[in-house]
Amino acid sequence: MEPLKSGSTIGILGGGQLGRMLAMAAAQLGYRCVGYAPEGDNVAAPVSAAFLTRAWEDRAALARFAAECEAVTWEFENVPVTALDAIPAEKLFPPRRALEVAQDRLEEKRFVEALGGRTAPFATVDTPNDLARAIESIGIPGILKTRREGYDGKGQWRIASAGDRDLLSSLRQPAIYEGLVEFEAEFSVILVRGRDDEVRFWDSPRNAHVGGILDRSLFPAGAAIGAQSEAARDLAKKVADALGYIGVLTLEFFATGDGPVFNEMAPRVHNSGHWTIEGAATSQFENHIRAVAGLPLGDTRSVARTVEMINLIGDAAADAHNHLTGGDTHLHLYGKAEAREGRKMGHVTRLER
């Protein structure tokens, strides 16, 4: 397929900050973006050429949206896969299957295991008995996670003692129980795969989480991550190839004494890749758009010696402009109306080149 001509329209399903940053990158390359998401604080809307506020179930609106676009992508992992049925497969990047696999923690783990990846020990939990059995075989402590729709630590409960299994009575969804992994550090592999199957990787940052939410991404990432990122990249490439993936794909890992342990994947640009806007020759957002549009991929090389990407969560964004007095410091605010607890309001990237 020919690359999209400048002036072509790229559709983005979802209206959050990832869509906002994708739309800005697309505009730079001469494309117009049309967003689509249900009612909400759709911060991608003000930077998009057009934005449709419609339900995921509105097939007619989705079909109109698809007809207006030369290519369609998503920025939100929980777009119902049924909504994708209204988009012709040849216009959709990445492919539907990538979203399907990533939306279910069980399917995702099985998929990655089948390709030779290591995961935390896990068991499916649908009933209180399942949890008792899982705890017996895997042990305590562990984490109970809903199979679907969990993100940023939501839909997760630490199980520290056998008494905690009562939690299940309040759980209304299929879940998995995972053994707690002892890790030295957490890191992510972010890659981009083009329409010609070429794969490029960004350097892997060390990711520090607080309360299940990404707090910071850092370089230098440290020796443990440096030693394990190659093996993690090999696995990530296998995943991307197996899915026929096009666009940016993220896999999150624990660096352990026995090598990388896969935690989860995101079939999209990722918070731990925000540093690439200033810290790499080409950002994850630009390369995602390049891949979707069928353009040559950009250089993913890091251009800074040290990087600190700090998320501004909830109230932390209130005095955000104070960050502007730093030297090579870059502030990104997402334009969200309300600073709720745990809500990602923006980020700051500090570099030393």
Binding site for ligand AMP (CB under 6 A): 120, 143, 150, 153, 178, 180-181, 186, 209, 212, 252, 263-264
Residue 172: partners with Cβ closer than 8 Å, 6 or more residues away: none
Strands (E), 147-246: 156-159, 175-179, 185-193, 199-201, 206-210, 213-219
> Distance of alpha carbon 97 from its chain centroid, rounded?
16
Q: Please, are residues 317 and 339 in contact by the beta-carbon 8 Å criterion? A: yes
Q: Are strands 50-53 and 32-37 parallel, antiparallel or unpaired?
A: parallel
Q: How far is the CB of 212 from ligand AMP (least distance, A)?
A: 4
Residue closer to ligand AMP (CB basis): 254 or 285: 254
Give the integer Cα–Cα distance in Å for 348 and 332.
6
Give the integer Cα–Cα distance in Å for 104 and 175.
10
Q: Please, are residues 289 and 29 in contact by the beta-carbon 8 Å criterion? A: yes
Residue closer to ligand AMP (CB basis): 126 or 152: 152
Residue with nearest beta carbon to ligand AMP: 181
End-to-end CA distance of the chain: 38
Residue closer to ligand AMP (CB basis): 263 or 282: 263
Residue closer to ligand AMP (CB basis): 154 or 305: 154
Residue closer to ligand AMP (CB basis): 264 or 286: 264
Q: How far is the CB of 145 from ligand AMP (least distance, A)?
A: 6
Q: How far is the CB of 292 from ligand AMP (least distance, A)?
A: 25
- Closest to 328 measured CA to CA, from 299, 301, 308: 308
Residue closer to ligand AMP (CB basis): 214 or 312: 214
Q: How far is the CB of 7 from ligand AMP (least distance, A)?
A: 39
Residue closer to ligand AMP (CB basis): 75 or 186: 186
The two structure tokens encoding residue 140: 């305590």
Q: How many residues does the chain have?
A: 353
- Start-end of H helices in the chain: 17-28, 59-68, 81-84, 96-102, 105-114, 128-138, 223-243, 276-279, 284-293
Residue closer to ligand AMP (CB basis): 147 or 350: 147
The two structure tokens encoding residue 179: 């053994």
Q: How far is the CB of 270 from ligand AMP (least distance, A)?
A: 11
> Distance of alpha carbon 109 from its chain centroid, rounded?
16
The two structure tokens encoding residue 347: 């980020």
